[in-house]
Amino acid sequence: MAISLVPPQGDTFADYLGALRGRIDRRLALLLSASADENDLIGAAMKAALLSPGKRVRPLIVVLAGGQLGAREAPLLDLGCALEMVHAASLVLDDMPCMDDARLRRGLPTVHLRFGEDIAVLTAVALLGQAFKVISSASELPSLLRARLVGVLADAVGAQGLVRGQYQDLREGGWPRQVGEIAETNHLKTGALFAAALEMAAQVAHARDDVRMTLREAALELGQAFQLYDDLCDGASDAPLCKDLGKDAGKSTLVALLGQEAARQRLHGHVQRIDTLLSGVYGPDCLLLRLLCLLFPRLY
C-alpha cells in the first residue's frame, strides 16, 4: 500500500479526501492551462466546464483504487484528470438543447447558455482531445501502457460506451422499457467511465487479471448504483447530491418502473455486491468503500 494514501493519524478520511480533491483540482487547472488560452471564449468555457466545483468522483476512484494497489499517485492523478475531462465534455453536450436541454449544472447556467451552442460543442471537442493528450504524454508511464490506456479511454467514450448510453437514454428513454434495458443504459451512461477508471487503476498498478476482472465487475455495479441513487434523488428535495430536480419526469427510469421502495432495495443490492467485490480485493480497510459511504450518505 502506498504510504501517501493512508490518512495521517488524527485526520479523518473526509479531511484526507478534501486534500486529495485539492490536488486533483490543482492538477486539472495545470493540465488545462497547457492547452487552453483563458483569453478566448473556448479557453474560458473549458475552464467553466472543467473547473467548476464538482465531486471529482472519477479521479478519486482512480487514485484511491490504484494507490491502494501500490501504484504511485502522480500518473494516477493524470489518468483521473483525463477521465474528468471526458466527463466534463459529456456533461456540456448532454445539457445542450438537442439533448437534455438543461439550464443549470452545478448551480450555474450551463455552458451553452453562458457561451453559446457553437462554443459548447467546440469546448467539448477540445476537452476530449486534451484528455487523450494527457494520457499520451503521461511521461511516468511506459509507452506501451500509455498506448493501451488511450484505447481504454477511447472504448469508454465511443459508440459502445458513453455515446451509446446517451443515445439509448435520449432515444429510448421516453418509451416503456424493460428493467434489463434500463440497466444496460445506466451501465453505459455511468458505468463506462467508472469501468475505465478501475481498469486504468489496475493496469497502472500491474494488478493480476483476476483483480482486474473483479474491479471491472465492481465498476459495473457502481454505475448502476450511481444512476439509481441519482434517479431516487430526482424525486426528492433534500438529497445532498441533487441537481436539475424533476428533469427525469416522463423518462422510463427504474424508479418510475419499480417504485421508490423496490428501487431503493435494488440500490442496496448493488452496494452490497460492491462491498463484497472490493473487500475481496482490498481487504476490510478499502478506501474506495469509505469513499462510497461519503458519496451515498443516505444509504449508510
Q: Which residues bind a copy of itself (CB under 8 A)?
A: 35-37, 40-43, 46, 89, 93, 96, 98-99, 116-119, 121-122, 124-126, 128-130, 132-133, 135-137, 142-144, 146-148, 150-151, 153-155, 157-164, 166-167, 170-171
Separation between Cα atoms, residue 276 and residue 272, nearest integer Å:
6
Contact 185, 223 (CB under 8 A): no
Separation between Cα atoms, residue 59 and residue 31, nearest integer Å:
14
Nearer to a copy of itself, 87 or 266 (CB): 87
Give me the least distance between CB of 51 and a copy of itself, in Å please: 14
Nearer to a copy of itself, 150 or 242 (CB): 150
Nearer to a copy of itself, 133 or 290 (CB): 133
Nearer to a copy of itself, 38 or 210 (CB): 38
Stretch (H or E) spanning 105: strand 104-105
Give me the least distance between CB of 50 and a copy of itself, in Å please: 12
Q: At what angle do helices 73-94 and 162-172 cross, to 10 degrees?
A: 30
229's grid cell: 441513487
Cα separation values, 48 from 22, 116, 125, Å: 17, 13, 15
Separation between Cα atoms, residue 103 and residue 274, nearest integer Å:
34
Cα separation values, 248 from 30, 58, 137, Å: 35, 23, 39
CA-closest candidate to residue 226, choices 101, 66, 85, 58: 58
Give me the least distance between CB of 188 and a copy of itself, in Å please: 12
Nearer to a copy of itself, 99 or 242 (CB): 99
199's grid cell: 481498469
Give me the least distance between CB of 161 and a copy of itself, in Å please: 8
Contact 149, 133 (CB under 8 A): no
Give me the least distance between CB of 165 and a copy of itself, in Å please: 10
Give me the least distance between CB of 41 and a copy of itself, in Å please: 7
Contact 255, 234 (CB under 8 A): yes
Give me the least distance between CB of 169 and a copy of itself, in Å please: 10
Nearer to a copy of itself, 102 or 162 (CB): 162
Nearer to a copy of itself, 114 or 290 (CB): 114
